Structure 1
Amino acid sequence: MNTAQQRARLVELLGDSLLASPWLARLGRISFLGTLDAHPRSRRASTRLEHSFGVATLAREASVSLELQPELARLFVAACLLHDVGHYPLSHAAEPAFTKLLGASHHDVGRWIVLGDGPIPRQRSLRPVLEQANIDPDATWAIIDRSEALDPSLVPLAELLKAPINLDTLEGIHRVARDFRLRRTKLPERIFTWVDGELGISRAALPAMDRFWALKDHAYDRVINLPSNILAEARLCELVAAKLDRDDPEILDSLDLFDDPALRRRLGAEALTRALLDGGEDGDYELWTSEAYGEIVGSAQTHAGGERRPVLVRTRKRYFVDPGVEPGERGLPLRSWATRFRHERTQGWLVSRRQDQLSLPGLRPSLAPSLDTSLDAPEF
C-alpha cells in the first residue's frame, strides 16, 4: 500500500481535519533517517510523515486482529499516527543537541502539540482538532506516553508502542531495510492476538517476528551504526549547539514551521553540507566493541604501542532471540516478549584506521564530543 492509499484510509477512519493539520504536514518536511539520507547506499529518503502513516496503518490492522470496538480503534490509530509529531528537524540525528538546547526531547514536544500545554498554546495545538473529531486528546497522549494514569483497558494498546515488538519499530526497521536494500521478509497480516486475556503474538506470526528481530540487529549493525553516520550525527549536534540560541523565540513560536529546510537556513547550507554524512568515512573509521579495548581505554594507557585512540564513544545495542522461551497454544503472551526478544547494551568506540585521524573530522578539536559522553544509537 503506497502513502496516498494509507492516507486515504486514515482519512476514512479519523477524518480529514487531523490529517490536514499543519503539525502533520510539518512531518512531511522532516527526514526519517536524517544524516543517513546522504549515504551512498541509501536507495531513497523517507519522511517522518511516511513513517507515521505506516505505523498508523499497522495500528489499523492490529485493531482488526484484536477485534477492537470502533471508537477504541480510532483512538488507538490516532495515537499511533501522532506518536512522532514532536520530532525535531532531521529526526534523531540532531536530537541530543536540541534536547540540551531547549530542555525538551521530541517526546516532550509531542505532548505540547497534542495537549496544548507548555510553550504551545491550546488554540495552536491538536487538542481542538482531536476534540472536533471526537477523539479524546488526553487518552491519545496517555497511549503514546504509556502514562501511569492510563485506563487499564488502554494499557495493551500502549504496549503496542512500547513493548519489544512494537508497531513503531516494526515499521521503522522495515523502512530502514527497504531504503538501504537489506533483505527483509513481509510482515504477516495478523501479528497480534489475545492469549488468555493478555495481549500476545499469534503462534503463526512468531517465526516472522523472530526474523524481524534478527533484521533489527542487522539494520543497526549495517546502517544505524555506520561510522560515517556516527560522525555525521556528532558534527551536526556540535553545529546546532554552536549556531542556535536556546533563547531564540522563533523556534518555539514557529515550531510548526521548524523543519529540515528551516534548519538548513538557520545553520547555513554550506555549513550543514560540511557537517552531514561522508560515506567515505566508513573506510577510515571502525566501531570497536571488544571488552579488552574498553579496558585499555579505561586504564588510560598510552597509545605509543600502536593502540588507536577512540574518537567517539557509542552505546550499542545487539538484538537476539531466545528460542527457549516458547509460546503457548495460541501464541506468546506479552509477559514473555522481553525474554524471547532480548537485547544487550555494549560500549563501542569509534576508532580511526589511521594514526593521523585522532579528532572528529570537520570540527575543531576543541569542539569534539568528550569521550566521557556515550552517545546512544536512536530507537525507531
Structure 2
Amino acid sequence: MKVIEEAKNSTEIYDFRLPAKVDRTDDESDFLTQLAETRAFRRLSDVRFLGALDYYLVTSPNQYPQNSRYTRAQHSWGVAMLAQRYLREKSLSQRDRLICLGAAMLHDIGHSAFSHTIEPAFTEFFGIDHHRVSEGIIRGEDPEFEDIRATLSNFGLDPEEIIAVLNGDDKKFDSYFSGPINFDTIEGILRSRSYIKMDTLGLSPWRVLNASYFRNEYSDQNTVDQFWGLKGEIYGLVIRSALGSYLDQLFLEIFKSQKDSISPNDFYLTESQMFKKFPILRRAFDPEFIEKFTSERFEKELAVTIRMFDVDESKDFFARCDKQRYRHRKALKRYAIPTFGG
C-alpha cells in the first residue's frame, strides 16, 4: 500500500524537458538506455513534438520552461516513464514489463521530421505514414535502423510483440496503449498544454495516470473528466484552431511545392537535414513570403476536420467503461484564412 499512498498524495512536479530522469529503476534502465542510444531513437531528438507549429509557437526558445520547444524523443521518454510508473502496480513477468516499456518508448519511432505537419505529403506521393515506418524500423527492415531490432533481441523480445501492443493488443496493460485514456495521450496533451502557458487545472501526467488507474474516489473521476475536457481545449485552441490549422497547412504546402526534389528517403531525415535540403522551408517564417505564397496557393477559406471531445456521464467511470464514457466526434469546419500572427 505504500506505493499507492505515495502516488495518491504525490506533489511531484513533472518536468517536460527532462522526463527521462524522473523515474528510472535499475532493473529496467539498461533496456531503456540501449533503446535511447539507437540511431532511430536519437533521430527523434531532432524532430519537434508539434511539428512546424513548434517553430511558430516558440519563436525564441531559451533556457526557461515557458519558452521551450519539445521533441519526439522527450515525449517518448515521458510516455515510457508513465508506463514504468504504471508497472509499479502490476504483477507481470519481466518479459511483459519490457514489452510494455518497449512499446511506450518506441510508439513514435517512425515519425518524420516536423511530425504530422508534412506526413500527408509523403502519404500522397509515396503511400508512406509513420505507422508503417514505425513497424519497419521495429522489425529492422531498414539496415540503417536495424539496431532497434538488435536491442530487442538482446533482451529476448520479438519485434512482433511490440508491434502487436502498438496495434491494440494491450489488454494485459489495461488498454493504456489503445484506450482513450492512454500513456501517449496523457503525456502528449499535457505537454501540448504547456506551450500555451494556460492553467492546467492542477493536472500533471502523474496525477492523471494515478487517477485513471486507481479510481478509488470521485476526485479521480473529476481528474480524468477534466483531462478529457482539456484535450478538447488543446485541439480547439492549438492543433485545430484557425491559426494552427492554417500554419500547419502553410508549411505543408511549401514543402509540397518541392515535389520534384522529394524522395521517400526524406521521410527519415531530421529537421536540420530537412532545412538543409529544402532551404525554402525556412521562408515559412518570413511574413512577406508567407503573404505572397498564401495569396497564390490558398483559397479564401480553409476546410479543416476538427475534433470535439465529450464525456458521457451515464457511463460508469469506476467500471472502466472508458471507450463509452470518453468520446470524440469529427466534423468539417471552414475557417477564413487568418492574418499571419493574428
What band does the TM-score fall into relative to the shorter chain? 0.7 to 0.9
Give the number of the structure whose residues are more often helix, by fraction: 2
3-state SS of 1:32 partner:
coil
- The residue number in structure 2 matching 1:223 is 238
- The residue number in structure 2 matching 1:206 is 221
Offset from partner CA, 1:197-242 (integer Å, 9 cap, x none): xxxx624332211010011011111111232321222122222222
- The residue number in structure 2 matching 1:265 is 276
Shift of 1:38: 2.8
Matched, 1:144 2:166: yes
- The residue number in structure 2 matching 1:176 is 192
**Does the Cα contact within 8 Å between 2:20 and 2:77 map onto a contact in 1?**
no
2:315 to 305, 308, 325: 325
Query: Over aligned residue pairs, what C-alpha RMSD do you find?
Result: 2.9
1:128 to 150, 159, 165: 150
1:32 to 22, 34, 49: 49
1:275 to 284, 288, 292: 284
Offset from partner CA, 1:221-279 (integer Å, 9 cap, x none): 11112323212221222222222458737537xx3xx11111111211xx21332597x
Single out whichever of 216-225 and 242-251 deviates more from structure 2: 242-251
- The residue number in structure 2 matching 1:55 is 79
- The residue number in structure 2 matching 1:370 is none
3-state SS of 2:319 partner:
strand
Shift of 1:174: 0.3
* Residues 1:219 and 1:178: Cα distance change in structure 2 (over 3 Å): same
- The residue number in structure 2 matching 1:349 is 334
3-state SS of 2:52 partner:
helix
* Residues 1:226 and 1:78: Cα distance change in structure 2 (over 3 Å): same
Matched, 1:74 2:98: yes
Q: Which amino acid aligns with 1:20?
A: E
Runs of 5+ in structure 1 lacking a partner? 194-200, 282-308, 362-380
Offset from partner CA, 1:320-340 (integer Å, 9 cap, x none): 21222223xxx232xx21221
CA–CA distance in structure 1, aligned partners of residues 325 and 309 of structure 2:
10
Offset from partner CA, 1:263-311 (integer Å, 9 cap, x none): 111211xx21332597xx9xxxxxxxxxxxxxxxxxxxxxxxxxxx852
Q: How many residues align?
A: 301
3-state SS of 1:89 partner:
coil
* Residues 1:326 and 1:4: Cα distance change in structure 2 (over 3 Å): closer
CA–CA distance in structure 1, aligned partners of residues 149 and 181 of structure 2:
29
Shift of 1:344: 1.5
Matched, 1:234 2:258: no
Runs of 5+ in structure 2 lacking a partner? 1-13, 60-66, 291-298
CA–CA distance in structure 1, aligned partners of residues 145 and 227 of structure 2:
41
Offset from partner CA, 1:147-196 (integer Å, 9 cap, x none): xxx5xxx4343831121111111100000111221221134263455xxx
CA–CA distance in structure 2, aligned partners of residues 191 and 68 of structure 1:
21
Shift of 1:316: 0.5
CA–CA distance in structure 1, aligned partners of residues 245 and 73 of structure 2:
24
3-state SS of 2:34 partner:
helix
3-state SS of 2:197 partner:
coil
- The residue number in structure 1 matching 2:295 is none
TM-score by length of 1: 0.71
Q: Which amino acid aligns with 1:339?
A: Q
Offset from partner CA, 1:33-85 (integer Å, 9 cap, x none): 12222335773210000000011111111112333333211110111100000
**Does the Cα contact within 8 Å between 2:40 and 2:145 map onto a contact in 1?**
no
- The residue number in structure 1 matching 2:38 is 21
Shift of 1:20: 0.7
**Does the Cα contact within 8 Å between 1:130 and 1:136 map onto a contact in 2?**
yes
2:118 to 88, 94, 118: 94
> In percent, how many aligned pairs have the same letter?
25
Shift of 1:102: 2.7
Give the number of the structure whose residues are more often strand, by fraction: 1
**Does the Cα contact within 8 Å between 1:101 and 1:246 map onto a contact in 2?**
no
CA–CA distance in structure 1, aligned partners of residues 146 and 71 of structure 2:
23
Give the structure with higher Rg (CA).
Answer: 1
CA–CA distance in structure 1, aligned partners of residues 211 and 228 of structure 2:
14
TM-score by length of 2: 0.79
